[in-house]
């Protein structure tokens, strides 16, 4: 429709003023809701052609468009804005076509669709997931759903950072002071248990450093010489050398962590199509780095450490292999990338990783390019902002980290309290209630995080629990539940809801609702292009806000005119399914009752 108007405007300028306008100069946008009209043409850019006032130009343009486009019934002019008004029948037609689609606004992939691989989550196996990981997981999952809805094939992947010096630290602490504690013996969740030993290592290390400083050396020297750190380094060396005892300890502790992670992922409702483990990709990366040395792409120092010199590319020198031969983070990322591209015919690779790693991905992209991979430059780092607390960044050492499992449990608790106070679920079984509490709690958490522009730093205040009123997930879930309630009443009354509506007169609210509804496909498309779940969240909120006013002002079931009653039922049903589809792109479920 916008394209039709745009073309007609170009035609009109040509006919009226004998000038050619560039397509980009013609701006057709939805009319803001304070003004009457459906689409608005901005006429300012045409003034240099018409050489008359903005109002007059708009007048002439408006007359031309009314005469040449059947759907346009009239227009009004405010300053340089030409507001076009459509016939009712146009909006009825929009609604009918929305209904006729199986999943309105959602495309599905065909055989030739491009394949997008999306990496997200990527946890370290030395500590449990926290709030930062939650943003990552929710964004990664939602972007995957949005890309699918835009017709791409999607492979969701996870690279588990299961090896490295940090993993050895929790292993070493457990070995020294753990006394054989296991998840079974302690009743602790596996990832939490291992996390405690990671913290323990830091305490032991700090104590050793403090003791060494009293012997008269500097703090920097002490940090370098602390025995426990050297033991951790030695453990990493042994691990890379396949020492059986080290490997056995590693397998055991990692398995505890995986059991814990699986539980958290399941609660969050996220999943993966393919999981890679750093422990099995880093050797491929190491081989690539060594090939790079042979081909003169990287340089090896006298102490055998390997470096990439990126100074000619405006970056610094980067280490790729330590002098003891062990690998770093970058090494394995090179290997993982190579393996992925041989495993899948990837057209687009998206890394969902925080913006603190922008530099890392610049370097990775460049290194892969230097190693001769043509896709190296095409890696897309989807860099999202941090989650901050009122005191600033989360710091594990200061104990300010918001644990993922605790947060969700707390939310479920709040959901239960709110629900019990309202007492709407008193007739339901405990099991049904629990399911709804869970759904509402996660709806609140997910919406809270996903409605914010992913690129921006966001703030989370643990003191104030996440709201359930206003612009929130539960508000939208509630509206969905209300719609389902009306639809159930219709079924009880023996009304069959039609699948198409005839050409009836629409109230202003009704045409506004259809207008918003008809923007859903565009919202999905834009969310895909911008990798932004927030655009979907904002769309659903606008729709729901408008619907609640309609619901409040107008009766559906008590409407005397049967045709209008059925129309409203169909409208409500379509809005309900769009809420559901929209929320599914955010990974949020909607309840039939709440």
> E strand or H helix at 562, and its extent?
helix 562-585
Q: Least CB distance from residue 227 to RNA, whole Å?
A: 16
What is d(CA 437, CA 449) in angstroms, rounded to the nearest whole number?
18
What is d(CA 76, CA 187) in angstroms, rounded to the nearest whole number?
71
Select from 10-18, 62-70, 317-325, 496-504 the region that touches RNA (CB under 7 A): 317-325
Select from 113-121, 128-136, 269-277, 474-482 the region that touches RNA (CB under 7 A): 474-482
3-class DSSP state for residue 355? Answer: helix
Q: Least CB distance from residue 5 to RNA, whole Å?
A: 13
Distance from chain centroid for Cα 268? 13
Q: Least CB distance from residue 429 to RNA, whole Å?
A: 16
Structure tokens at 502: 């005839």
3-class DSSP state for residue 125? Answer: coil
Select from 127-135, 240-248, 249-257, 523-531 the region that touches RNA (CB under 7 A): 523-531
Structure tokens at 28: 């057709």
Q: Are the CB atoms for 108 and 151 separated by under 8 Å? A: yes
Per-residue contact track with RNA, 4 to 43, x per CB under 7 A? -----------------------x-xxxx-xx-x--x-x-
Nearer to RNA, 153 or 572 (CB): 572
Select from 251-259, 370-378, 538-546, 582-590 the region that touches RNA (CB under 7 A): 538-546
Distance from chain centroid for Cα 113? 22
Nearer to RNA, 327 or 581 (CB): 327
Per-residue contact track with RNA, 428 to 447, x per CB under 7 A? --------x---x-------
Q: Interface residues for RNA in 407-426 (CB under 7 A)?
A: 415, 418-419, 422, 424
Nearer to RNA, 266 or 393 (CB): 393
* Binds RNA (CB under 7 A): choice among 453, 509, 521, 577: 453
Contact partners, residue 121, CB within 8 Å, separation at least 6:
133, 136, 137, 140, 158, 265, 270, 272, 352
* Binds RNA (CB under 7 A): choice among 70, 316, 398, 413: 316
Question: Considering only CA atoms, which of 176, 105, 128, 160 is closest in space to residue 280?
Answer: 160
Q: Is 358 in the site for RNA (CB under 7 A)?
A: yes
* Binds RNA (CB under 7 A): choice among 100, 230, 457, 507: 457
> E strand or H helix at 510, and its extent?
helix 508-517
Nearer to RNA, 31 or 170 (CB): 31
> E strand or H helix at 431, and its extent?
helix 430-450
Structure tokens at 586: 């955010």
Cα angle vertex 83, ends 80, 88, to 5°? 175
Structure tokens at 207: 């104590």
Q: Are the CB atoms for 96 and 104 separated by under 8 Å? A: no
Q: Return phi, psi of residue 585, to 5°.
A: -70, -20
What is d(CA 364, CA 370) in angstroms, rounded to the nearest whole number?
10
List the helix and strand counts (H, then E) for the chain: 21, 14
* Binds RNA (CB under 7 A): choice among 131, 268, 452, 524: 452
Q: Are the CB atoms for 41 and 30 separated by under 8 Å? A: no
Residue 227: other Cβ atoms inside 10 A: 11
- Residues that bind RNA (rule: CB under 7 A) add up to a total of 93
Q: Interface residues for RNA in 483-522 (CB under 7 A)?
A: 484-486, 489
* Binds RNA (CB under 7 A): choice among 386, 389, 402, 504: 386
Q: Interface residues for RNA in 40-99 (CB under 7 A)?
A: 40, 42, 44-45, 78-81, 83
Select from 90-98, 267-275, 497-505, 535-543 the region that touches RNA (CB under 7 A): 535-543
Q: Interface residues for RNA in 202-231 (CB under 7 A)?
A: none
Per-residue contact track with RNA, 162 to 201, x per CB under 7 A? --xxx-----------------------------------
Nearer to RNA, 30 or 182 (CB): 30
Nearer to RNA, 154 or 436 (CB): 436
Q: Is 398 in the site for RNA (CB under 7 A)?
A: no
Q: Interface residues for RNA in 98-117 (CB under 7 A)?
A: none
Structure tokens at 467: 């709201």
Q: Are the CB atoms for 281 and 334 separated by under 8 Å? A: no
Q: Interface residues for RNA in 293-312 (CB under 7 A)?
A: 301, 303, 305
Q: Are the CB atoms for 510 and 424 separated by under 8 Å? A: no
Q: Interface residues for RNA in 137-166 (CB under 7 A)?
A: 161, 164-166
């Amino acid at each position: 429709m916008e394209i039709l108007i745009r073309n007609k405007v170009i035609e009109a300028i040509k006919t009226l003023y004998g000038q050619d306008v560039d397509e980009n100069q013609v701006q057709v946008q939805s009319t803001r809701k304070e003004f009457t009209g459906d689409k608005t043409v901005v006429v300012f850019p045409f003034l240099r052609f018409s050489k008359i006032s903005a109002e007059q130009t708009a007048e002439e343009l408006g007359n031309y468009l009314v005469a040449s486009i059947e759907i346009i019934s009239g227009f009004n002019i405010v300053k340089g804005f030409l507001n076009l008004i459509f016939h009712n029948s146009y909006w009825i037609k929009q609604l009918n076509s929305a209904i006729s689609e199986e999943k309105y606004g959602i495309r599905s992939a065909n055989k030739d669709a491009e394949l997008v691989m999306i990496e997200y989550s990527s946890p370290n196996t030395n500590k449990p997931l926290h709030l930062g990981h939650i943003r990552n997981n929710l964004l990664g999952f939602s972007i995957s759903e949005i890309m699918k809805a835009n017709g791409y094939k999607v492979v969701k992947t996870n690279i588990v950072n299961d090896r490295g010096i940090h993993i050895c630290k929790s292993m070493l602490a457990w070995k020294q002071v753990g006394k054989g504690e296991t998840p079974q013996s302690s009743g602790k969740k596996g990832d939490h248990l291992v996390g405690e030993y990671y913290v323990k290592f830091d305490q032991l290390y700090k104590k050793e450093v403090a003791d060494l400083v009293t012997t008269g050396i500097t703090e920097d020297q002490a940090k370098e010489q602390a025995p426990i750190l050297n033991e951790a380094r030695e453990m990493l060396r042994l691990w890379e050398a396949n020492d059986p005892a080290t490997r056995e300890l590693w397998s055991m502790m990692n398995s505890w962590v995986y059991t814990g992670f699986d539980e958290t992922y399941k609660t969050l409702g996220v999943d993966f199509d393919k999981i890679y483990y750093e422990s099995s990709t880093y050797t491929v990366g190491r081989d690539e780095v060594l090939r790079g040395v042979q081909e003169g792409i990287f340089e090896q120092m006298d102490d055998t450490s390997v470096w990439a010199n990126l100074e000619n590319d405006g970056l610094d020198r980067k280490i790729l292999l330590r002098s003891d031969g062990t690998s770093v983070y970058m090494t394995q990322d090179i290997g993982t990338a190579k393996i992925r591209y041989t495993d899948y015919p990837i057209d687009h690779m998206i890394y969902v990783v925080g913006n603190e790693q922008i530099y890392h991905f610049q370097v990775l992209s460049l290194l892969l390019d230097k190693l001769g991979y043509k896709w190296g430059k095409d890696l897309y780092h989807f860099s999202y902002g941090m989650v901050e607390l009122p005191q600033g960044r989360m710091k594990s050492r200061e104990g300010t980290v918001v644990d993922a499992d605790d947060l969700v449990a707390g939310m479920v608790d709040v959901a239960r309290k709110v629900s019990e106070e309202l007492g709407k679920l008193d007739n339901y079984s405990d099991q049904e209630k629990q399911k709804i509490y869970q759904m509402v709690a996660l709806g609140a958490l997910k919406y809270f995080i996903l409605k914010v522009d992913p690129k921006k730093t966001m703030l989370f205040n643990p003191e104030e629990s996440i709201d359930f009123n206003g612009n929130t997930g539960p508000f939208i879930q509630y509206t969905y539940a209300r719609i389902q309630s009306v639809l159930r009443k219709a079924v009880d009354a023996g009304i069959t809801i039609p699948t198409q509506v005839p050409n009836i007169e629409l109230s202003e609210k009704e045409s506004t609702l259809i207008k918003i509804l008809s923007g859903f496909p565009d919202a999905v498309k834009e969310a895909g292009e911008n990798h932004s779940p927030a655009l979907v969240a904002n769309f659903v909120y606008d729709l729901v806000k408008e619907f609640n006013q309609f619901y409040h002002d107008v009766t559906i079931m008590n409407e005397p005119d049967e045709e209008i009653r059925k129309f409203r039922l169909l409208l409500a049903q379509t809005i309900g399914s769009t809420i559901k589809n929209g929320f599914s792109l955010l990974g949020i479920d909607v309840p039939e009752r709440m």
